[in-house]
Each structure stands twice: as C-alpha cells, then as structure tokens.
Amino acid sequence: MALNPNKELKLYYSIGEVAEMLGLSETLLRYWEKEFPSITPKKVGRNVRQYSQEDIDQLRLVRHLVKDKGMKLAAARKALKNNKDGAERDAEIVARLRSIREELMQIKKELDGLV
C-alpha cells in the first residue's frame, strides 16, 4: 500500500500541522478547544490530538472572529451560536479577498521585474 502523496486527502492533522496552517500556537489551539465546544479533535494514545477538516474549519472561523474582527472570546462564542452561517460567510469572504490580494501582489512583483 503506497503512502498518500496528496495531503488534501488526509483525514486527520496533528496539532503542529494545524498550528502552522493557521499561524497560531499549539497552546492557543488547546485553549480554544476548551472555550469552543464545537472544536473536538480526536485524542489517541497519550492525548495526541488529531484534527479533522471540520475542526480546522471551526478553528479558522474562531481565528477570523477573534483575530480579524477583534472579538472577545465570549462575543465569538455568541456569534457562532446565534449566527454561525453569517460568520462563516464573512470568514470565507475575507479568505477570498486575501487570496486575491496575494495574487495581485504576485502579478505586481512580476510586472515590476519587467521594467
């Protein structure tokens, strides 16, 4: 059986992988697990956390509310409880805009190199 070369198909990610992916510390991820019941990584031997894609999506949403929008944890919990769909849409829009900005910056860099 060959190893899966496509990381997109991974079922679970380690806390280190998720922390790097989201630009957050492992300590903060563990803290948010306690504060947000919707973040429930699977724990295997010696409490090693395995995050599913759903957990990662929840963490991205919390990061958007807390880091991007500047919400306190209580306000973020309330936003997720009362209007999760709206918060998800906002986070998705911000992610798309960031991606577009990165693309535009890359194009600008390439154009600057031609001059």
DSSP 62: H
pTM over 0.75: no
Q: What is the pLDDT of residues 80-112, one digit of tens each?
A: 888 777 778 888 888 888 889 999 999 999 898
* Contact criterion met (CB below 8 Å) for 61 and 88: yes
Position 2 confidence tier, pLDDT thresholds 50, 70, 90:
very low
Structure confidence by residue, pLDDT tens digits, 10-47: 889 999 999 999 999 999 999 999 999 889 999 888 88
Angle of the 15-22 helix axis to the 26-35 helix axis, nearest 10: 100
Query: Which residue type, as a one-letter code, is found at position 53?
Result: Q
**Residue 4 clears pLDDT 80, i.e. is over it:** no
